[in-house]
């Protein structure tokens, strides 16, 4: 079975797949031949939410071609549940988000995920559980295009500790939310975070 990919470019989604995905919105097909990611990025309108696809018999090879044009950045983060069944969210850059950050020298993805959660929210992770999913995000970086791969892990903490948002990382607040309280988050977050919440079974 071919591996299919979903790459987020701001609020736009670029699929690389051997079949058309089940999406309600219109999807525009692209051709990988002579495709320039930087030019494509610049042509995207600010605030647009559109779907694009590379239909490919070999999605993995098409993804590799796209990746060659990018600086690859590895990151990891966590979906953290308290003993009370609440989930940890942060508010950064005027959007709801989950704690995450870039891989440092000598770290693996699992270590990065735990460290970033602990640093950004001032808590101690009790247990890092299974990997929920991975997300891909494209953005300009140092005059080139970056492809950020983020691994997401389920985590738990003892009790429900007080949260201390890491202000120097631009985090305005960190909160524990439960059930219906997540609804406002869904209206003001990133498509990649929706994927993580779906993988963690917080939403359908």
What are the pLDDT digits (tens) for 133-148? 999 999 999 999 999 9
Structure tokens at 146: 């970056």
Q: How many angstroms separate the Cα of 52 from the Cα of each of 14, 17, 40, 124, 178? A: 5, 11, 11, 40, 34
Task: Report pTM.
Answer: 0.93
**What is the CATH class of 72-199?**
alpha beta
pLDDT in tens, 36-91: 999 999 999 888 889 999 999 999 999 999 999 999 999 999 999 999 999 999 99
Give me the sign of the Cα torsion angle 37, 40, 46, 52.
negative
- Nearest CA to 137 out of 151, 126, 147 is that of 147
Q: Where are the alpha helices (DSSP H) in 44-151?
A: 59-68, 109-121
Residue spans of the domains in the chain: they are 5-68, 72-199
């Amino acid at each position: 079975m071919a591996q299919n990919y979903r790459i987020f470019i701001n609020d736009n989604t670029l699929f690389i797949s051997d079949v058309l995905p089940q999406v309600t919105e219109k999807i525009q097909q692209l051709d990988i031949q002579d495709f320039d990611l930087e030019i494509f990025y610049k042509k995207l309108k600010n605030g647009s939410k559109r779907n694009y696809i590379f239909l490919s018999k070999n999605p993995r090879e098409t993804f590799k071609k796209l990746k060659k044009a990018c600086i690859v950045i590895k990151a990891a983060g966590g979906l953290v549940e308290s003993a009370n069944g609440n989930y940890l969210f942060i508010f950064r850059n005027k959007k709801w988000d989950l704690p995450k950050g870039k891989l440092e020298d000598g770290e693996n993805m699992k270590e990065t995920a735990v460290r970033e959660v602990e640093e950004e929210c001032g808590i101690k992770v009790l247990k890092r559980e299974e990997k929920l999913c991975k997300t891909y995000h494209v953005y300009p970086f140092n005059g080139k295009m970056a492809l950020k791969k983020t691994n997401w892990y389920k985590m738990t903490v003892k009790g429900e500790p007080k949260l201390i948002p890491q202000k120097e990382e631009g985090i305005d607040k960190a909160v524990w939310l439960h059930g219906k309280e997540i609804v406002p988050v869904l209206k003001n977050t990133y498509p990649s975070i929706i994927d993580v919440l779906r993988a963690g079974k917080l939403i359908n």
